[in-house]
Structure 1
Amino acid sequence: MPRAAGQIDPRKSEAILEAAAALFHELGGAVSMEAIAKRAGVSKQTLYNRFASKTELAHALAERRSEAITAPLRTDGDPEAVLTALATTLITKVCHAHKGESLRGVALMSPPIPGIAQAIYEGGPAASLRRISAWLTEQDRKGLLRVPDPDHAAEMFSSMAIGHGHLRAMLGLEHPEVDIEARARETAQRFIRAFAV
């Protein structure tokens, strides 16, 4: 059955992003758009219709990751519960599993592709900070926390949660054993005490 004009199959976009993530991890910036299309099982035209360049693909991957990391901010709950869940996702998605390999891949592919580092930062970490800042602004408006500079507080919170974990990950160093749940809870509790009404 022919596709209606303007209709986009989200499964193809997801397949493209999955293929790009895997190939960026394996080959860095040297991967070709043709290889990404082949791995995704789509035509080059389909790939270019959705993502015009590797920079756009990297931005989309960073956006997708940022959405996943900041998902707790879209839930109802008291500030401590939300911040504990957010700290948990930050620690697990930024500092653990094989995330360091992805970060090293980003570092390796940045120099040969102008603008890619900025695209990744804007789509990922900067977008996450904006979401955290907006959430903190709302908590301040509701009188649940006192946050005079939500942008600065957002950076402070994420730094408290991940510490040097992201640096260890980027450098391929072992992570010390950590109780993620306990660390996330402590991060949220200390942050809330610092910004208590």
Structure 2
Amino acid sequence: MPRAAGQIDPKKSEAILEAAQDLLSERGLQVSMAEIARKAGVSKQTLYNRFPSKTEIGQALARRRSDAITAPLREPGDPLRVLTGFARAMIEKVCAPERAVSLRGVALMSAEAPEVARAVYEGGPAESLRRLSAWLAQQHAEGRLVVRDPDAAAEMFSGMVLGHAHLRHVMGVPHPVFDIDAKAQDAAIRFIRAFSA
């Protein structure tokens, strides 16, 4: 079925983001918008209509990652199950070996393009913290947990889950092997004990 005038094809946007992720991971900000369009199989005009600059691309990629990490927060369930799912998603998205290159790339670009790094942070990690904080505030309001400062608690939980994983990835230091499910559940159990109602 043909699209109506002005209707955006989500498959093209997804192709652009996939191409951008691959190219930015390989070459950082040196990659051109024309190269991203070519790899995505779209015209430069289509690319610029959806993402006017690499800043918007970076933010969209970070937002997509944040959506995946925070998906468990949108599911009903007891706090242990939800936090375990959130922790597992965070570990999988941050600690996966293929993510090391992109984390390193973001760290390196922060000096040469602080506006891109800020957009990536706001669209990804900061957004994930905001969503976790809002979920924790809701748990507090509903009497499931006692979380008087949900922003601080969200940062605490993220730190418990990741530890130094992101630093190891940025620095290219091998990460110890561990059981993702066990680590995710352990962090959730300890956090809930600390904030139990």
Same fold (TM over 0.5): yes
CA distance in structure 2 between the partners assigned to 1:92 and 1:3 by the alignment? 36
CA distance in structure 1 between the partners assigned to 2:113 and 2:32 by the alignment? 12
Q: How does 1:10-159 map to 2 (within 5 A)?
A: 10-159=10-159
Asked whether the equivalents of residues 29 and 110 of structure 1 are also in contact (C-alpha less than 8 Å), the reply is: no
How big is the shift at 1:163?
A: 0.3
DSSP-derived class of the 1:21 partner = helix
Which aligned runs of 4 or more in structure 1 are off by greater than 2 angstroms?
108-114
- One-letter amino acid matched to 1:6: G
How big is the shift at 1:22?
A: 0.4
Normalising by structure 1, report the TM-score.
0.97
Asked whether the equivalents of residues 96 and 169 of structure 1 are also in contact (C-alpha less than 8 Å), the reply is: no
CA deviations on 1:40-70 (whole Å, 9 max, x unpaired) are 0000000000000000100000000000011
Asked whether the equivalents of residues 55 and 116 of structure 1 are also in contact (C-alpha less than 8 Å), the reply is: yes
- One-letter amino acid matched to 1:72: P
- One-letter amino acid matched to 1:142: E
Identity %, equivalent residues: 64
DSSP-derived class of the 1:148 partner = coil
DSSP-derived class of the 1:145 partner = coil
CA distance in structure 2 between the partners assigned to 1:2 and 1:67 by the alignment? 29
- One-letter amino acid matched to 1:12: K
- One-letter amino acid matched to 1:84: T
- One-letter amino acid matched to 1:150: P
DSSP-derived class of the 1:70 partner = helix
How big is the shift at 1:4?
A: 1.8
The residue number in structure 1 matching 2:169 is 169
CA distance in structure 1 between the partners assigned to 2:3 and 2:77 by the alignment? 42
The alignment's C-alpha RMSD in Å is 1.2
- One-letter amino acid matched to 1:83: L
CA distance in structure 1 between the partners assigned to 2:110 and 2:33 by the alignment? 16
CA distance in structure 2 between the partners assigned to 1:171 and 1:193 by the alignment? 33
| Closer/same/farther in 2, CA of residues 2 and 75 from structure 1, 3 Å limit | closer
Normalising by structure 2, report the TM-score.
0.97
The residue number in structure 2 matching 1:183 is 183
DSSP-derived class of the 1:46 partner = helix
Q: Which stretches in structure 1 are left out of the alignment for 5+ residues?
A: none
The residue number in structure 2 matching 1:6 is 6
DSSP-derived class of the 1:115 partner = helix
Q: Which stretches in structure 2 are left out of the alignment for 5+ residues?
A: none
How many residue pairs get aligned? The number is: 197
CA deviations on 1:22-42 (whole Å, 9 max, x unpaired) are 000011010000000000000
Asked whether the equivalents of residues 69 and 86 of structure 1 are also in contact (C-alpha less than 8 Å), the reply is: yes
